[in-house]
Amino acid sequence: MKRILLSILLLSTGLSYGQKKLDTQISKLTAEVETSMVEWRRYIHENPELSNREFNTAKMVAEHLESLGIQVETGVAHTGVVGVLKGSKPGPVVALRADMDALPVTERVDIPFASKVQSTYNGIETGVMHACGHDTHVAILMATAQVLSQMKKDLRGTVKFIFQPAEEGPPVGEEGGAKLMLKEGVFQNPEVDVIFGLHISSEIPVGKIGYKPGGTLAAADRFRIVVKGVQSHGSKPWAGVDPISTSALIINGLQTIVSRQSELTKEAAVISVGLIRGGIRNNIIPEEVEMIGTIRTLDVEMQDLIHEKIEKTAKLIAQSQGAEAMVEITKAVPVTYNDPGLTAKMLSSLNKSVGEENVLLLKASTGAEDFSFFANEVPALFIRLGGLPESHKEGDYIPAHHTPDFYIDDSGLIHGLKAMVNLTVDYMNNN
């Protein structure tokens, strides 16, 4: 019995020593790459690219992975890059994902690396900006690849680095994003066992990480409503049917679906119109108006009910004005689901990365992520990374994601890097 107890003690001591050695190595390697990671992020921020057009970003990523001796595949789902790093010891296949695309937003932030890029989106001239922080995700995963490649002899398994295009949605008429990557076999050869991802947040303070087991981000669906009226002179609106005034009534009607017809104590829901266009001149009432928007839900039954009511509301309001409404609803992105068992198991890795007091249990968000497609295939954990500057004072304005003033503090990147490395290494060692 004494021999057995002694063996257990020696084994436990050996494992503890081995883990401490790995933790020390991770701390050293992440610190060494931090400066480069910030430089990569700033370069990508200054040179943003829209969905399915991330050509230069993909080239930069592929060249970096190849320089580390990582097996690289390019052109996945148009511009995606996938790297495979095989550890020296057998073990699970851990996938890590970063999204690469920027948004049609004109930057207003006064920083040396602000974007000056211009493009066309939906037929409209616009600036292009990383207004959701995907530049930080790419830089963090590039740094993660560098650290893990330097730890190859200690890795118990394989890491698959997934640099994904078109998270914000592919251009109309194109496929793209996580769904297309899966369709093209990104989880095969080798077959993925688990996946981790993160999203930086302008609302969470630097140095903190947020998580939520179960449904953490909403389903996102796209709707398009075309209101057809009868064109007339602006001085005689009674001679036609005005689709602009009808559209205004429809937009107001859509909001009552959430505020008056949805059980919001069950889950949150949102209907937002993001684009409306119609007409060409001040004194012509046009024949047609188009509006495009998003639907966010966290419950499948509410999702179906809201879809039904959008169609009914738009068509009946249009009919009441003598107009006609055509409604198209496309299910785009499902709820992002964090596997509860995996989440509980990996909490110690997050605690180790930023300190237990800085790991926050969050409520579900009406934001959406096509990481959800990956999470529907294998156990997944998707975390939120703090990017709000430490200098921020309570009550100060915080620019939201997808806006011209969106800002992320670079000092938060190191915490995302540590989290991604710790999640990978700890999962391998415990499985």
Residue 1: half-sphere exposure toward Cβ, Cα within 13 Å: 0
Give the dihedral of Cα atoms 223, 403, 334, 388; nearest 10 deg. -160
Same domain, 377 and 323: no
Do both 400 and 253 map to the same domain? no
Instruction: Identify the pLDDT of residue 43.
Output: 98
**Is there a single domain that holds both residue 26 and residue 98?**
yes
| pLDDT for the residue numbered 20 | 85
Cα 230 to Cα 407: distance, rounded to the nearest angstrom: 45
Q: In this structure, is residue 11 part of a structural domain?
A: no
* Rounded alpha-carbon distances, angstroms, from residue 32 to 41, 143, 253, 368, 369: 16, 10, 55, 33, 31
Q: Kindly state whether residue 6 falls inside one of the protein's structural domains.
A: no
pLDDT of residue 343: 98
Do both 214 and 321 map to the same domain?
no
Kindly state whether residue 7 falls inside one of the protein's structural domains.
no
At 249, which CATH number? 3.30.70.360
Tell me which long-range contacts 35-40 makes (C-beta under 8 A, separation of at least 24).
36/143, 36/146, 37/139, 37/140, 37/142, 37/143, 37/413, 37/414, 37/417, 38/139, 38/410, 38/413, 40/64, 40/138, 40/139, 40/142, 40/143
Over the chain, what is the mean pLDDT?
Answer: 95
Domain boundary among 276, 303, 333: 333
> What's 89's domain CATH number?
3.40.630.10
Per-residue confidence (pLDDT) for residue 10, from 0 to 100: 47
- Quick one: pLDDT at residue 16? 65
Token pair for residue 113? 């690396």
- How much is the pLDDT for 13? 53
Last residue of a domain, one of 300, 333, 366: 333
Q: Are residues 98 and 203 in the same domain?
A: yes
Q: Is residue 254 part of a domain?
A: yes
Q: Does the residue 349 lie in any domain?
A: yes
Tell me: the pLDDT tens digits for 344-378?
A: 999 999 999 999 999 999 999 999 999 999 999 99
Query: Is the Cβ–Cβ distance between 337 and 267 less than 8 Å?
Result: no
What CA–CA distance (Å, rounded) separates 377 from 179? 11
Structure confidence at residue 201 (pLDDT): 98
Domain annotation covers residue 202: yes
Is residue 13 situated within a structural domain?
no
Please give the positions annotated as active site. 101, 167
pTM of the model: 0.90
Q: Are 100 and 169 part of one and the same domain?
A: yes
Residues 240 and 109 in one domain: no
112 and 198 part of one domain: yes
Claim to verify: residue 99 and residue 116 sit in the same structural domain: yes
Q: 409 and 340, same structural domain? A: yes
Per residue in 155-193, pLDDT (tens digit) is 999 999 999 999 999 998 999 999 999 999 999 999 999
Number of domains into which the chain is organized = 2
Domain boundary among 298, 333, 368: 333
Residues 75 and 120 reside in one and the same domain: yes
User: Which residues constitute the domain of residue 269?
Assistant: 219-333
Query: Is the residue at 48 inside a domain?
Result: yes
**Residue-level pLDDT, tens digit, the chain, 431 residues:** 666 655 555 455 555 667 888 999 999 999 999 999 999 999 999 999 999 999 999 999 999 999 999 999 999 999 999 999 999 999 999 999 999 999 999 999 999 999 999 999 989 999 999 999 999 999 999 999 999 999 999 999 999 999 999 999 999 899 999 999 999 999 999 999 999 999 999 999 999 999 999 999 999 999 999 999 999 999 999 999 999 999 999 999 999 999 999 999 999 999 999 999 999 999 999 999 999 999 999 999 999 999 999 999 999 999 999 999 999 999 999 999 999 999 999 999 999 999 999 999 999 999 999 999 999 999 999 999 999 999 998 889 999 999 999 999 999 999 999 999 999 999 999 98
Both 101 and 194 in one domain: the answer is yes
